Amino acid sequence: MATIVKRVVGALLALVGLALTVAGVWLAAELGSSGTAEFTVHPATADPVLIGPDVLNRVDADVVVTATPTAGGSVWMALANPSDANAVVGDSKHVAVTGVSVRDWTLLTTTTGTGTAPELGAADLWRQQDDAKGPVTLTVEQSGAPETLVVKSQAGQIGSLTLTVVDKSWFVESVIAALIGLFLLVVGVVLVTSRRARHPVPVEVPPVPEAPTGTFGPVGAVEGVDGHEPTSALTGDRDDPAVAADTDVGTAAETPSEAPHQAPADSHGSPATQQPHDPEEVTR
Partner 1 sequence: MTPRPVTTAPSPTTPRALSRLVASTTLLGALVLAGCGTTDALVGLHPAPAEQTAAAPLDTEGATAVAARLLAAKEATVEGDEKAAAAARAEVLTGDALRVANAEAARGATTPEATDLAAPAEPTIVAQSQGRQWPRAILASTLDEATNTQWLHVMVSDKPDQPFRIASSVPMFGGAELPALGAQLAGAPLLDSGEKNGLAASPAEAVEAYAAAIAQPKGKATEVVAADDPFATGLKTAAAAQAKALGKLGTLTQAHDPRLEDAITFRLADGGSVTFALMVRTDSIAVKPKAKELVLPAEYAKLLGKKRVKKSLTLNNLEPIALVLPKTGKGEVIGASDLLVSGRGR
**Is the Cβ of residue 194 or residue 283 nearer to partner 1 in the bound state?**
194
| Binders in 186-245 for partner 1, by CB under 8 A | 197, 200-205, 207-208, 210, 238-239, 244
**Distance of closest approach, residue 28 Cβ to partner 1, in angstroms:** 13
Size of residue set near partner 1 by CB under 8 A: 57
Query: Does residue 79 sit in helix, strand or coil?
Result: strand
Among 184, 188, 239, 176, which Cα is nearest to 211's? 239
**Distance of closest approach, residue 218 Cβ to partner 1, in angstroms:** 24
Is residue 83 part of the contact set for partner 1 (CB under 8 A)?
yes
Q: Are 125 and 80 in contact (CB under 8 A)?
A: yes
**Distance of closest approach, residue 124 Cβ to partner 1, in angstroms:** 4
Is residue 32 part of the contact set for partner 1 (CB under 8 A)?
no
Q: Are 139 and 76 in contact (CB under 8 A)?
A: no
90-93: long-range pairs with CB below 8 Å, 24+:
90/117, 90/118, 91/115, 92/47, 92/48, 92/116, 92/117, 92/118, 93/47, 93/117
**Phi, psi of 25, rounded to the nearest 5 degrees:** -65, -45
Q: Are 68 and 159 in contact (CB under 8 A)?
A: yes
Query: Which one-letter amino acid corresponds to residue 117?
Result: A
**Is the Cβ of residue 42 or residue 173 nearer to partner 1 in the bound state?**
173
Residue 233 per-residue DSSP state: P
**Is the Cβ of residue 31 or residue 49 nearer to partner 1 in the bound state?**
31
Query: Does residue 213 sit in helix, strand or coil?
Result: coil
Bridge partner list, 95: 49, 111
Is residue 84 part of the contact set for partner 1 (CB under 8 A)?
yes
Is residue 11 part of the contact set for partner 1 (CB under 8 A)?
no
| Binders in 135-164 for partner 1, by CB under 8 A | 145-146
**Is the Cβ of residue 18 or residue 125 nearer to partner 1 in the bound state?**
125
**Is the Cβ of residue 112 or residue 283 nearer to partner 1 in the bound state?**
112
Positions touching partner 1 (CB under 8 A) are 1-2, 5-6, 8-9, 12-13, 16, 52-54, 56-61, 81-84, 87-88, 90, 118-120, 122-127, 145-146, 167, 169-170, 173, 197, 200-205, 207-208, 210, 238-239, 244, 247-250
